Structure 1
Amino acid sequence: MVYLKTDQEIDLIKESAQVLGKAHAEVAKWVKPGVTTRQLDKVAEEFIRDNAGIPSFKGYNKFPASLCISVNETVVHGIPSGYELRDGDIVSIDCGVKLNGYHSDSAYTYPVGEISAEVMQLLVRTKQALYLGIEKAVDGFRIGDVGFAIQSYVEEQGYSVVRELVGHGVGKNLHESPEVPNYGKKGKGTKLKEGMVIAIEPMINLGHKAVVQERDGWTIRTSDRKPSAHFEHTVAVRRGKAEILTTFEYIEQVTANTSLMVNA
């Protein structure tokens, strides 16, 4: 059952998304060699709670942390730990905030120190794929149009799309219908209608599309152990043009010296 949101509900999600965007920026300040992923998680949780929010992920299906922190070949759902970030790593930070009864959800992948040109291109193009998908999140299009836009672009670049993990509806619940795959066929799937709120989140691998789940029951990594990138926005379906509810603005004020700038 797909639940269409009112403009008032969408405004509440945007309020949640502002706290989320600022929480991401606080974490971004600490993304550097020598910092543990557990420290990043602590920064995020403290900021969210100090701003009247609740970390959406903590306790969700017994997930133990406020952030999913996924380093290098980890695609998603990495559990914060004592791992110290190293020069040359990439790290995906996925975070959700519940505020005033509504969730928002977004993810951003950061370079740590100096990374290879090849991996930087993966980050830039995955981020670009997110915005190409968002361009299709318009009343009258279909879920398959979103997935096709993402898939066709990244596969042209020689990358692969993870199949087992998808985007989703967002609202009073962190995960709602419909599912939003990052692959698909034009004109296929659920029809998009104004008032739908969805999280679009390309998870793109440098190597093969296959993934495996680690023994902790959460961590998903690439089967070939090549890097994977992940970017995500929460988006409202509108007529004519999608409305991006989450924001990378605060992140990019912190990371202005990187070459990940992609305009929506």
Structure 2
Amino acid sequence: MSTVTASYNVTPNEPTPNVSMGLSESDQVVRWTHAPTIYIYKENQTQNALERMRDSLSRILVHYYPLAGRLTWIEGGRVALNCNTKGVTLIEAESPKTMDDYGDITTNEKLMSELIPMVDYSQPIEELPLLLVQLTRLKGSSNQGLAIGVAISHVLCDGVAAITFINAWAKLTRGEALDSIEMFPFLDRTIINSTYPPRTPRFDHPALKPLPLKLGSTDTKEEQEKEKTSMMLRLTSQQVEKLKKKANDERPKKDEMSRPYSRYEVMEMCIKGT
């Protein structure tokens, strides 16, 4: 089990715009969870490296300042992003385990949770950090290394945006300059606004309401405390291509004039059992 040795609240090291940003319609209905990712570095990392990462995080937040903000409720039961620079959470931890002890963490949720910062969803959304990072030094004698666990709000970042942020942060940590426009976020939210300023909803939106509770329950605490298991199905590229060929060979004749199924569509059909 990893042990927390220090915790910091990191804010941008320069003034940033104190503005409110609207969220897309799809972000109004999804759960406000954090997407976890882990990055493993096998080389031994010094304390100086951790300090550099903390310093570079404060510098990259100047460009990615929405990550240092908080969600907030607005009129009509909607949620917006308040860029108030309340900061992101950076945790330093140590683990007595080696890389070999962790093995394939993608199939072991319990081990994975040791390397990812825990998010306290009991907090009001106005206090909930949108980005949490845990730097865990692995102390095993033969495989010393560093695990970087990141929990980033899915409301703010999809996969592409999240990895762009990580790459930009890594460049600053290495002492490099952000020399490409792709390293900077596009923060103009007006492109996704249907109206500005937002209007009060004119009819009931069930999709924006909380999910119904289980019969006989007054809250979701019992369901949240139940033990959960995650599984990962590994397919080789050859297996995926075989499934794709089979799906296209057996497609209905009425669909023969349309384009073939993509790999994504084939995998989605397999998962859904269609």
> TM-score band, normalised by the shorter chain?
under 0.3
Task: Give 1 or 2 for the bigger CA radius of gyration.
Answer: 2
Q: Is the helix fraction higher in 1 or 2?
A: 2
TM-score, normalized by length of structure 1?
Answer: 0.24
Q: What TM-score does the superposition give when structure 2 sets the normalisation length?
A: 0.23
